Amino acid sequence: MNIYIRKFWSYKDLLFELVNRDIKLKYRRSFLGYLWTLLNPLFIMLITTAVFSQIFRFSVENYPIYILSGQIIFTFFSESTTTAMNSILGNASFLRKIYVPKYIFPVSRVISSFVNLLFALVAMIIMMVIFKVPITWHILFIPLPLICIFLFCTGLGLILSVLAVYFRDVIHIYNVLLTGLMYFTPLFYPVDILPNVIFKLMHINPMYHFVTYFRSLLYMGEFPSLEQNILCMGISLSFLLIGLAFFKERQSKFVLYI
């Protein structure tokens, strides 16, 4: 284990460079450059909020912030896992010809998305100030849910990246699943409008727990229960461990398939 970590660490500059490149590519040749990492979520937020709070008039406190907070988490989830899924296939030309620790590709994609998430979080806090949502000390614990979601996406991304090598249609299936999952996560609606059965069923959706966890610390001023803490950490650690094990076992084989 120790050797693995040390070996991985010796490639930290490569990891950093890959992340840097992802972010640079996203905003290349744009007039405002890095400012877009901040403006982009801000505008998307404003639009969705405007649309949804006009269409549905749910009685949710701080509805705009409710939508935005769910959305930035879900965007991170879908962006990071999708790009991680494509990362092994996309870097086939390297993997076939040079030795690099293979996890570096999916992991770098998740980190890039995470950097985008942090920018979105800054935009989010600006919005909270604009909407006059009180900011409490609970927000200091916001790294907890963020780390949980990060580990969860890393694990899932590792699994998807391997599956996509063997079965290309995983890419299409996953896109469909993501759309389904988006409506199955309370992003735009409050959970109390759901029939009891569906609400119960929603508990198998990890994103439901992460979004709830995130929201309570971000602006609801509640510290999540012990149960909720254990659940979220449990989910993310299991996914991470399963992902690492799954990837490790297959990494020497899939070079022959890309």
Report in angstroms how near the CB of residue 61 gets to another protein at its nearest: 45
How many CA atoms lie less than 13 Å away from 239 in the CB half-sphere? 23
Which one of residues 4, 10, 30, 33 is an interface residue with another protein (CB under 8 A)?
10
User: Judged by CB under 8 A, does residue 98 bind another protein?
Assistant: yes
Residue 5's SS3 state is helix
Which one of residues 4, 43, 166, 183 is an interface residue with another protein (CB under 8 A)?
166
Which one of residues 13, 59, 132, 196 is an interface residue with another protein (CB under 8 A)?
13
User: Judged by CB under 8 A, does residue 4 bind another protein?
Assistant: no
Q: Is 116 exposed, middle or buried (0-12, 13-18, 19+ CB in 10 A)?
A: buried
User: Judged by CB under 8 A, does residue 57 bind another protein?
Assistant: no
| Residue 47 structure tokens | 């639009």
Q: Count residues near another protein (CB under 8 A).
A: 24
User: Judged by CB under 8 A, does residue 11 bind another protein?
Assistant: yes
Report in angstroms how near the CB of residue 202 gets to another protein at its nearest: 28
User: Judged by CB under 8 A, does residue 6 bind another protein?
Assistant: no
User: Judged by CB under 8 A, does residue 9 bind another protein?
Assistant: no
Which one of residues 42, 95, 128, 153 is an interface residue with another protein (CB under 8 A)?
95
Which one of residues 55, 99, 134, 137 is an interface residue with another protein (CB under 8 A)?
99
User: Judged by CB under 8 A, does residue 107 bind another protein?
Assistant: no
| Residue 211 structure tokens | 């979004």
User: Judged by CB under 8 A, does residue 17 bind another protein?
Assistant: yes
Q: Are 243 and 154 in contact (CB under 8 A)?
A: yes
Q: Are 160 and 85 in contact (CB under 8 A)?
A: yes
Cα–Cα distance, 158 to 243 (Å, whole number) = 5
- Sequence-separated (6 or more) residues with CB below 8 Å from residue 87: 105, 106, 108, 109, 157, 161
Q: Annotate 57-109 with three-state secondary structure.
A: CCCCCCHHHHHHHHHHHHHHHHHHHHHHHHHHHHCHHHHCCCCCCCCHHHHHH
Could you say which residues in the range 126-165 bind another protein, by CB under 8 A?
none
Which one of residues 35, 47, 96, 183 is an interface residue with another protein (CB under 8 A)?
96
Residue ranges in contact with another protein by CB under 8 A: 10-11, 13-14, 16-17, 93-100, 166-170, 252-253, 255-257
